[in-house]
Structure 1
Amino acid sequence: MTAISSGDVVTAYKRYAPVYDFLFGKVLEQGRKRIADEVCRLTPGTLLEVGVGTGLLLSRYPADAEIVGVDVSREMLDRAREAASILRNHKITLHEMDGEHLGFEDGSFDLVTVPYVLSVTPDPARFMDELRRVCKPNGYILVANHFSGQRGWRVLEAITRSVADRIGFRSEFNFDQHVPHPDWTIEKVEEVNMLGLSRLVVIRNGK
């Protein structure tokens, strides 16, 4: 697995911030829509989005939920704050924060969303442990991400492997290695986005 440092991620998303919505908005739209659908179905009182980015999901969350968004990129957060500022009926708080070191108490949130972040974090195991820690027992974690070997993407994964560290993500990222956990239950996995580029994983946290 390609090694990524936190510096790689910050540098990459500083570059992406001005053009992120243009590059990844429509390409990853279906996955974001499915996250929002699941959030509305689960009706959380408190919600944490790890990797809030430019705030593309914020308007789709229930207005009666207390929403917290975190991101490691200050530049991406600046854009998320612009998006949040016009959502006057939503309760949104945004923080610059590393997903591997979340500054929240155990069991703080009913639901945690993780849109397209898992394969760009330097230490996925620590990252997942943090998600589990801050999610309430029997709460939910929704992960949308690209995983290795999905449909016709194997060739592209191999092509991009050598430059993945410079562009801030891993092109090859194994589902079975990083998602299953003895302390939670995977309730649903579905392919989303063009040609099955990504998977949406619905996880019920353990007690």
Structure 2
Amino acid sequence: MIKSSHKFYNALSFLYPVIDVFIGAHKKRLISHANALPGLNLLEIGVGNGSCLKLYKDKVITAIDSSEGMLAEAKIKNGEGVQFIQMDGEKLDFSDAAFDIAVMCHVLAVTSNPDRMLTEAFRVLKPKGYLLILNHFTPDNFIGFIDRGFKPFARLLKFRSEFYFKDLDTSNYTIVNNLKCGKLGYFKLIILQKP
């Protein structure tokens, strides 16, 4: 993650219920798409407080986060049935081809090396496996100017406000779907597949 961001998110884990008010509907949409995909074993990278994990159906869930505070919140919310592991999404400690589905929900803009995280997800996905990404992506409209102006403050909050999908290396994947979430195309749900 961006340097020391796991400590930052440990300290702010209590605020995530407020954040979920704004992004909860998008997370539910992501999970609905994940539930419709074939495959049993699902890895959620950057699970945060795990507020929507109970919405997954018929999946064996492994949830990781680098923040022990977030994982503690997620365990309280979800109890049994999910394997929680403290782990860096850029250095996954799983064997190759271990998962049918991987999920990244608002994590790519806070990690130190997004392309490394995408590469690691590719490695641990089975052939024909899916990666679902939910994130803000700076659009080519007035919001782009806002994102650029917000950059100094965003650094304090340990994330990139100006963040473009086109800058990510997804060349190993096939883009299955690119869906707008909410108004103005600021949040997107992108579904990728490993060949």
Do the aligned partners of 1:150 and 1:196 also contact (CA within 8 Å) in 2? no
2:17 to 15, 21, 24: 21
Tell me, which stretches of 5 or more residues in structure 1 are unaligned? none
| Counterparts of residues 82-121 of structure 1 (less than 5 Å) | 82-85=76-79, 91-121=81-111
Deviation by residue 1:129-156 (Cα, 9 ceiling, x = unmatched): 0010111110000000111225542232
- The aligned amino acid for 1:14 is N
Q: Within 5 Å, which residues of 2 pair with 1:64-143?
A: 64-85=58-79, 91-143=81-133
Letter of the aligned partner of 2:180 in structure 1? E
In structure 2, give the amino acid aligned to 1:114. M
Q: Distance in 2 between matches of 1:179 and 1:200?
A: 16
Q: State the Cα distance separating 1:194 from its structure 2 match.
A: 4.5
Structure 1 segment 195-206 matched on structure 2, within 5 A: 195-206=184-195
**In structure 1, distance between residues paired with 2:77 and 2:142:** 35
**Distance change in 2, residues 1:44/1:150 (3 Å):** farther
Please tell me the root mean square deviation across aligned C-alpha atoms, in Å: 1.6
Q: Which has the higher contact order (CA 8 A, sep 6+)?
A: 1
Unaligned runs of 5+ in 2: none
**Counterpart amino acid of 2:36?**
R
After TM superposition, the score normalised by the length of structure 1 is 0.88
TM-score norm. by structure 2 comes to 0.94
What is the count of residue pairs matched by the alignment? 195
- Cα distance in 2 between the residues matched to 1:195 and 1:12: 29
Aligned partners of 2:130 and 2:191 also within 8 Å: yes
The sequence identity of aligned pairs, in percent, is: 30
The aligned counterpart of 1:42 is: 37
Whole-Å separation in 1 of the counterparts to 2:181 and 2:141: 12
